[in-house]
Chains A and B, each alone.
Chain A
Amino acid sequence: MMQEEANEATSVLSVYGHTIKVTEVLQDGDTLTFIIVSQKLSGTGEYHVDRTYEDFEWLQQHLYAQEDVPGLQGVIFPPLPVRPQVNASAKVMKQLGFLGLGEWQPYCKALETFLRQVAAHSILRKNKTVEVFLTSTDPPGRQKLRRNIFNRLSQAVEGLWKEGHKDVDEFFHTERDHNLVLTGHTRTAAEKFLDVVLTEQKIAVACGHFAAALHICVENGEDPEKKAFSRVCVKLSEVFDSIKKNMTSIAVNDMNTLGLALDLDSRYLEAEKEMLFRRTCKLVELENARKNAERAKPVKKNAMEEVKKAAEGEFEQICKVAKQEIVQLNQERVEMLQKNLIQWCEQQLQTAKEGADAYNQHLQAFIAMA
């Protein structure tokens, strides 16, 4: 279905991965459409495509379902955010976390990150569907998706007994335990931080209400006492507008830096967990194959050995890829968190300084009045 493009650009994208941007979100009824812009490698032109969440899912499924990639199951797939919903219920909002805030800007940001991660991934970027997704003017994913082997539900059920499986490799065993702990803590931290941001938003709104209500107290009239009090009210209203502004930008800072970072970190850790789980599944499969090969009757012995060998080869591939992926992830995680922590701190510092300036001005104004 994508022959034309596939022929031209076989394994390499025709765009710069780091220029991918989700610039806009259009809402039509319950459907959200995202505008994706990327710069062409060939020249100065840009690709502009519109994609729905279904298109993203389509892309992800194709990435999952690649057949000719060795060790694919060792890949930590960049996590796609959960499906966005207009007028989402409280439960969905909780799932969305930071991505549900604002007017979908954080969500766009998350999609953008997802695409960039895909485009930057040494294995995944080679998939033709990525190119199609980024450049085709036709929406690719609108047809019905078939159920995937990586269905989350089945994972959850099987995971119950496979998760505790003793690993043959110390590295993976440690990583699995560590991932388990870290996933929990990161998710909690993200949730708590979301609470903080939500409360900050509430305070900003409350300050706005108070500032607006103060304007009701303003009375017109010649009475000097009335005028004086009205002036106080107006000035106080300005003060609370400043507080509101301050609090709003604090919330925005939180959201755009540390908030998104924690959210992404949390989702990546989940993705790592899934990968580790897939690997464990493979390990179990391999162990079964070994057992079968040992116990197999001579007639079947060869066939079983074949299966075992295939599984061993596959597992080795997976382990190789997985090790790289994990090292890569840990490095990227730290970098990402560092970048965001610094940004966050700098922005908060800036906001605090601006706030202090504004408050100081108000203070001087009031001292002058009194």
Chain B
Amino acid sequence: MATGSERSPPPFPDSEDQDALDSEEVRARDSDEDDGEELFLSATNTPMAKKENTSAPASHSVDLMSDPLIEPLSSQTENKSPSELFEDLTNDINITAEGASTAENPFGEASDDFVDILGSKAPAQREEVDVTVEATADKGEVSGGATELFGDGKTRSAVQEPTSTAPVMDLSDNLSASALQLPPGSAKIPDPLVDLLGDSPAASDALKPSRAVTDLFDDEGSDIFTGPLPSKSAKQPQRSLFGEANEDLFGEPLGAVSKKATSKEQKEKPVTAGAAAVGGLPSGGNPAEPGDIFSEEAVSALPNTRNTRAVNSRTNGVHSEEDSDIFGEATVELSLDSPRNERRKEAMTKPASASTSVSASLAKPQSAALEELEEEEELEDKVDIFVSVKDPEKIGDGMNAYMAYKVSTQTTLPMFRNKTFTVRRRFSDFLGLYEKLSEKHGPNGLIVPPPPEKSLLGMTKMKVGKEDSSSADFLERRRGALERYLQRVVNHPMLIQDPDVREFLEKEELPRAVSTQALSGAGFLKMLNKATDAVSKMTIKMNESDVWFEEKLQEVESADQQFRKLHALVESLVIHRKELSLSTASFAKSAAMLGSAEDNTALSRALSQLAEVEDKIEQLHQDQAANDTFSFAELIADFIRLLGAVRGTFDQRMKAWQRWQDAQTILQKKREMEAKLLWANKPDKLQLAKDEITEWEAKVTQYERDFERVSATVRKEVVRFEKEKTKNFKRQIIGYLESLLQSQQQLIKYWEAFLPEAKAIA
């Protein structure tokens, strides 16, 4: 990550490391919060206490108080005014959207822009906005500041520093100035920011709002806004800004980022990080940018601004110590991009647009998902690998006996050391491979081909050593099913990449697979049924927005029914074929008896010939039964299993959706709580509420992104599955017809040979 490298001050390792696990982040957050509280206690009394809820504000105050960097004068003054403002601001900060909305009220122009932006966004956001608007409206003057506050740093700064942003420059003076003045400016700023963020996908829109902002503030600022935002093509800088800022400022955003980063590959990381950053932006983005702004401003701006920066940075620090780093980093990046305030303004605008950021984030993840898909498409070349499963062999005696199969691979893929290699695998190894694969790839929406289920009867027969035609039939069926299963796995463009697959094919000794017991026979079916039940239950709850999935699920359900019916029909056909071969055999026998009892020698001979013909035909029927079995019954059984796997992916998608919805519900509750607190005028709890909102906003974004990604994968997998289905059937039918034709030609030969015998009777 460019951001990582750019980070000059690494005081906060956790936040910086995107790879850091969620847990670490969480811890970091916790610690931060604790610190914040302590600080509050030790530091300012009243404001701190009130701000207890909001750790960030508390930290700000603490930082301000404690930090020597901060100019005492400015900080104090700021603190005082901020303290009051803080309450309002804190709320606003957490809910950037709210802030934006609030901004609308104070400023007509900005409000319009916001409205548009908001309109484009989810209705839920609007509601939130309204709530915030009300809150802000009460505060009136402050509200404007509050809007600015979106970023915690901003909001607080709003009073202090609406200054932090481009306005910060101007506002720096304003800090002392009445809140009213500042808020308007700040409010305007956020609006443009919002627009910009929302526009980030669409640069043109961004330009307009930004200009409005610029009018309010500076023309330059507007330019800057427009420039950087549309220029998102420079994803890295933005990401870094967002990501770092977010991370530092808010533990959650960071967490999200880190999660994504870790989960995805390097290429994906930047994208995801960007997405995460976007998600974080609402909360994190603001502070980071403010930080940058601050720093820059600090350089050029008045001491007050510096204070504000410090405050911001501290606030960031409150959230996570890294914030300060972030700020530094952010500043660095900003400086890299352009040392001008304008960029900073842009940054500011971004945070302000927090609400917009949500929408932007949504767009980003989608695009990211698309990119991933494209990458996959590229990977999906002709897979040059063929796997065969042969020579089932019973190893051991009694109940400890098991079947081992020879797994031979032929490939020219460079990922394998040799072109051909053979390993010995027992049945449970196959199941173990499936478990590993489905655990790893199932949640991502991949259709992991299922192996044949364990068969208690077949195994017992095998163990007892009873060898009859049915156990031979069982072994052959299973061998074929295992082969097709492996072939499907290695033909999957994603699964072939899995190290476990390679290990399974290549490695001489495989660690014994455990707990495959759950997959045996009835248990396996039960599991599948349970999964499908869960899906059907969830579908009732899930208000499917995507018609494609709704239709597909129904298609899969009905295909499952159809295939089950087909399977039953083919099985009964096979039974009849076997019956025919048996009855043909017994007719052949009685024809032979009749021939031997016949006096007329010619007739006797003809009847004996007839018996021989019937014997041969019996063999043909037997082969045909096997042909029916292996061409259709087993193929259809495979697809019934695969349809189960397909339904499993729908299930996974549903789970992702559920998680997203749950997170949204929680977020909604948090916001309601915040509104209540706002009304009850409890600033101490307000900050905590805001933090939680920020946290959940990030989660919602993350989960939504997950959902989009799983949806895209499932969609692609289903399409691939259907393609494979058609291909498989065609291939199988051709083979079937070939053998059918062959047996028919054989039959013709038999009859042609018999005809002269019949004619010779006389």
Taking Cβ atoms with an 8 Å cutoff, the residues of A that contact B are 178, 181-182, 185-186, 188-189, 192-193, 195-196, 199-200, 202-203, 206-207, 209-210, 213-214, 216-217, 219, 225-226, 228-229, 232, 235-236, 239, 243, 330, 334-335, 337-338, 341-342, 344-346, 348-349, 352-353, 355-356, 359-360, 362-363, 366-367, 369-370
Q: A202-B576, A209-B569 are in contact. Are A195 and B761 (CB under 8 A)?
A: no
From A203, A330, A353, contact of B576 by CB (8 A): A203
Sample of 8 more A-B contacts, CB < 8 Å, known A239-B736, A330-B599: A188-B593, A199-B580, A203-B580, A225-B722, A330-B600, A335-B762, A341-B758, A352-B748
Q: Are B722 and A185 in contact (CB under 8 A)?
A: no
Residues of A within 8 A of B517 (CB): none
A232 touches B726 (CB 8 A): yes
CA–CA, A369 and B587, complex, Å: 41
Residues of chain A lying within 8 A (CB to CB) of residue B738: 363
- Name the residue on B nearest A258 (C-beta): B610
Judge whether B389 is part of the interface by a CB distance below 8 angstroms: no
- Name the one of B586, B593, B729, B762 contacting A229, with C-beta atoms under 8 angstroms: B729
- Cα A131 to Cα B762 in complex, Å, equals 33
**How distant is the Cα of A189 from the Cα of B761 in the complex, in angstroms?**
19
Nearest residue (CB) in B for A353 is: B748
Segment of B422-430, B488-496, B507-515, B558-566 engaged in the interface with chain A: B558-566
* B46 interface residue per 8 A CB criterion: no
Residues of A within 8 A of B751 (CB): 345, 348-349, 352
A-binding segment of B51-59, B74-82, B694-702, B739-747: B739-747
Interfacial chain A residues near B744, Cβ < 8 Å = 352, 355-356, 359
Q: Are A366 and B730 neighbours in the complex by a CB distance under 8 Å?
A: yes
Partner of A216, one of B565, B610, B723, B734: B565
B726 x A199 contact (CB < 8 A): no
A193 CB, min distance to chain B CBs, angstroms: 5
Q: With A178-B599, A182-B597 known to touch, is A217 a contact of B755 (CB < 8 Å)?
A: no
Interface pair A185/B594, CB less than 8 Å apart: yes
A-B pairs with the 8 shortest C-beta distances?
A: A338-B761, A192-B587, A195-B583, A363-B737, A341-B758, A349-B751, A356-B744, A206-B573
CB distance from B635 to the nearest CB of A (A): 11
- In the assembly, what is the distance between CA of A229 and CA of B610, in Å? 43
Q: Which residue of chain A has its CB nearest to the CB of B603? A: A334
Q: Which chain A residue has the least Cβ–Cβ distance from B586? A: A192
CA distance A369 to B730 in the complex (A): 8
Flag whether B754 is at the interface (Cβ < 8 A).
yes
Given contacts A189-B590, A210-B569, A341-B761, contact A356 B748 (CB under 8 A): yes
B residues near A344, Cβ cutoff 8 Å: 758
Question: Which of B584, B597, B758 is in CB contact (< 8 Å) with A338?
Answer: B758
- State whether B761 touches A334 (Cβ < 8 A): yes
A196 with B566: in contact, given A186-B594, A207-B573 (CB under 8 Å)? no
Chain A residues with CB under 8 Å of B587's CB are 189, 192-193, 195-196
Cross-chain contact A228 with B573 (CB below 8 angstroms): no
Chain B interface residue bracket vs A: 35 or more
Contact B761 A360 (CB under 8 A): no
A188 touches B566 (CB 8 A): no
Per-position contact with A for B703-747: 1 when CB-CB < 8 Å, else 0?
000000000000000010011011101110110111011001101
Q: How far is the CA of A121 from the CA of B726 in the complex (A)?
A: 65
**A–B Cβ pairs within 8 angstroms, 5 of them:** A182-B598, A189-B587, A189-B593, A203-B577, A369-B730
Select from chain A the residue with minimum beta-carbon distance to B584.
A196
Chain B interface (Cβ within 8 Å of chain A)? 555, 559, 562, 565-566, 569-570, 572-573, 576-577, 579-580, 583-584, 586-587, 589-591, 593-594, 597-600, 602-603, 606, 610, 719, 722-723, 725-727, 729-731, 733-734, 736-738, 740-741, 744-745, 747-748, 751-752, 754-755, 758-759, 761-762
Residue of B nearest to A214 (CB): B566
Nearest Cβ on chain B to A230's Cβ, whole angstroms: 9
The secondary-structure label for the interface of chain A is helix
Q: Say whether A341 contacts B576, CB under 8 Å.
A: no
A178 to B725, CA, bound (A): 62
List the B residue with the shortest CB-CB distance to A365: B737
Q: Which residues of B contact A352 (CB under 8 A)?
A: 744, 747-748, 751
Report if A213-B579 is in contact (Cβ < 8 Å); known contacts: A228-B726, A356-B745, A363-B737: no
When chains A and B are docked, how far (Å) is the Cα of A181 from the Cα of B755? 27
- A355 to chain B: which residues have CB within 8 Å? 744, 747
**A134–B752 Cα gap in the complex (Å)?**
42
B590 touches A181 (CB 8 A): no
Determine which of A192, A206, A229, A366 lies in contact with B569 in the assembled complex, contact meaning CB atoms within 8 Å.
A206
* A359 lies within 8 A of B740 (CB): yes
A267 to B745, CA, bound (A): 36
Residue of A nearest to B760 (CB): A338
Pairwise interchain contact A225-B754, C-beta atoms closer than 8 A: no
Asked if residues B730 and A232 are in contact (CB atoms below 8 Å), the reply is yes
Using known A-B contacts A193-B587, A213-B562, A345-B754, determine if residue A239 contacts B576 with beta carbons closer than 8 Å: no
Determine if A366 and B733 form an interchain contact, defined as CB atoms under 8 angstroms apart.
yes
Q: Is the CB of A225 within 8 A of B726?
A: yes
Given the known inter-chain contacts A189-B594, A337-B761, A349-B751, please indicate yes or no for A363 contacting B741, CB distance below 8 A: yes
Q: Which residue of A lies closest to B723 (CB)?
A: A225
Point out the residues of chain A lying under 8 angstroms from B719, CB to CB: 225
Contact, CB under 8 Å: B733 / A239 = yes
Specify which chain B residues have a CB less than 8 angstroms from the CB of A202 in the assembled complex. 576, 579
Query: Given the complex, which residues of B lie within 8 Å of A229, measured CB to CB?
Result: 722, 725-726, 729
Q: Is the CB of B559 within 8 A of A217?
A: yes
A219 in contact with B569 given A341-B606, A353-B748 (CB within 8 Å)? no
- Taken together as a complex, chains A and B put the C-alpha atoms of A239 and B587 apart, in Å, by 28
Closest to B759 in A: A342
Residues A342 and B755 in contact, CB atoms below 8 Å apart: yes
Verify B730–A370 contact, CB threshold 8 A. Answer: yes
A357 and B539 CA atoms in complex are apart in Å by 50
Q: Name the contact of B741 in the complex, choosing from A178, A209, A226, A359 (C-beta under 8 A).
A: A359
In the assembled complex, the CB of B585 is this many whole angstroms from the nearest CB of chain A, namely: 9
Whether A199 contacts B583 by the Cβ 8 Å rule is yes
What distance in Å separates the Cβ of B213 from its nearest Cβ neighbour in chain A?
A: 48
Bound-state CA distance A209–B600 (Å) is 44
With A189-B594, A341-B606 as contacts: A366 and B572 at CB distance below 8 Å: no
User: What A residues does B726 contact at CB under 8 A?
Assistant: 225, 228-229, 232
Contact A185 B729 (CB under 8 A): no
- In angstroms, Cα B580 to Cα A193, docked, is 10
B residues less than 8 Å from A192 (CB atoms): 583, 586-587, 589-590
Contacts A330-B599, A341-B610: A216 and B758 contacting too (C-beta < 8 A)?
no
B603 x A213 contact (CB < 8 A): no
Bound Cα distance A226, B719 (Å):
10
Chain B residues near A207 (CB-CB < 8 A)? 573
